[in-house]
Amino acid sequence: MKTKICKKCGNEFNLRCIVNNELYTMYTRSYCLNCSPLDISPAIKLCTNCGEEFNVRQIKNGKLLKLYDRNQCLNCMPYCKEKNIRTKLKNNKLNSIQEQIFNGHMLGDGYLSKRPNDKNAKFGILRATQDLEYLQWSAEYFNEYLTTRGIKDSSFFDSRTNKIYYRSDFYTRSLPVFTEYYNKWYPEGYKIIPTDLTLTPMTIAIWLCDDGCITKTKKALTIAFSTDCFPKSNVVILKNKLIDLYGGRIRIQERSYNPGKFQIYISHTPTSIKIINDIKNIFPNLNRKSDKWAGIDL
């Protein structure tokens, strides 16, 4: 067995040792365990789902589990080997509710990505950390597909505004189910509106949460949907789908500060109220938007 000489006491020590029934390698160490004991106290993380603390090193069924890359405890996201869970999810399809929520996010903050050498695509959402509760609500519907990373917080410095911005995100495993949607939403490599897209109340509610704006004045209640990422021909399709559902005066506005980019604008209060009535009972917990119609006789 290979050994080294401790630089502090001069004694010889083995480069492989067993501590608490676990093998440790010490090839990079310069001191023996007597001079520099191993720090083997369990690291603690906070579950982003339930808020409870959990150890990142746990014994389950006689095996040591290392949970350093996890943001959720084993109760919220049970342990399963990546290979096994990929096999289990290989032929999965989104259920009706998942697909409606997915479509709403794809109209808003959701994205699908697929690297050139990857076989399958993955789905993800990135939002400001102030909307973390809403992001957690979305993640629950796709929990079976999420990576062990779960929801992760990050920040970045924007030199244009000289401010630090905080954000949170999640993404799924790369799976065939998302590759099917990728081929619909990104047939030419950029996002478009699929020809078979159906605007349900749930899809519209999520779209409004992600990229919608509600404005209430003494005389009117208006709704605007940002559609900057879509070509105008696709924005026309969305506008016509909304007209088919709600009628009223729904128009497309070009951004004055960003020519060539558009939004769908609903200035007709009765039409706005029809939409709100359709979604108010299923609207996610995003009070900064739902509070806008509070107090209005719907």
Residues 179, 222 within the same domain? no
Residue 192 within a domain: no
Residues 207, 227 within the same domain? yes
User: Model confidence over 62-73: pLDDT tens digits?
Assistant: 677 777 767 778
Residues 45, 6 within the same domain? no
Residues 25, 45 within the same domain? no
> Could you tell me which of 278, 267, 264, 272 has the C-alpha nearest to residue 296?
272
List residues bridging with 155 in a β-sheet.
Answer: 166
Residue 188 within a domain: no
- Predicted pLDDT at 89: 67
Residues 65, 109 within the same domain? no
Residues 147, 222 within the same domain? no
Q: Which of 21, 55, 79 is the last residue of a domain?
A: 79
Count of positions (residues) in the chain: 298
Q: Which helix (H) or strand (E) holds 63?
A: strand 63-66
Token look-up 């014994």 returns 59
Domain of residue 74: give its range.
41-79
- Predicted pLDDT at 223: 95
> Could you tell me which of 131, 179, 121, 177 has the C-alpha nearest to residue 151?
131
Report how far residue 267's alpha carbon sits from residue 252's, in angstroms, rounded to the nearest whole number.
11
Across the chain, what does the average pLDDT equal? 87
The answer on pLDDT for 191 being more than 60 is: yes
Residues 154, 178 within the same domain? yes
**CATH number, position 144:** 3.10.28.10
- Predicted pLDDT at 199: 97
Residue 193 within a domain: no
Q: Which of 150, 183, 216 is the last residue of a domain?
A: 183
The answer on pLDDT for 117 being more than 70 is: yes
Q: Which two tokens stand for residue 215?
A: 């404005």
Of the chain, the percentage scoring pLDDT greater than 90 comes to 51
- Predicted pLDDT at 182: 97
Report how far residue 172's alpha carbon sits from residue 237's, in angstroms, rounded to the nearest whole number.
29
The answer on pLDDT for 81 being more than 60 is: no
Residue 190 within a domain: no
Residues 95, 166 within the same domain? yes
Provide the pLDDT confidence category of residue 186 given band limits of 50, 70 and 90: very high
Residue 146 within a domain: yes
- Predicted pLDDT at 86: 57
Residue 189 within a domain: no
Q: What is the CA radius of gyration of the chain?
A: 26
- Predicted pLDDT at 175: 92
Residues 128, 205 within the same domain? no
Residue 195 within a domain: no
Label residue 172 exposed, middle or buried (CB < 10 Å: 0-12, 13-18, 19+).
buried
pTM reported for the whole predicted model = 0.72
Pick the more confident residue, 13 or 108.
108
Residue 142 within a domain: yes
> What total number of domains does the chain contain?
4
Question: How many other CB atoms are found less than 10 A from the CB of residue 60?
Answer: 10
The answer on pLDDT for 41 being more than 60 is: no
Q: Which residues contact 174 (CB under 8 A, 6 or more apart)?
A: 114, 118, 119, 120, 121, 122
Q: Which two tokens stand for residue 82?
A: 């990546």
User: Model confidence over 209-244: pLDDT tens digits?
Assistant: 999 999 988 888 899 999 999 999 999 999 999 999
Report how far residue 224's alpha carbon sits from residue 212's, in angstroms, rounded to the nearest whole number.
6
Residues 118, 144 within the same domain? yes
Residues 24, 58 within the same domain? no
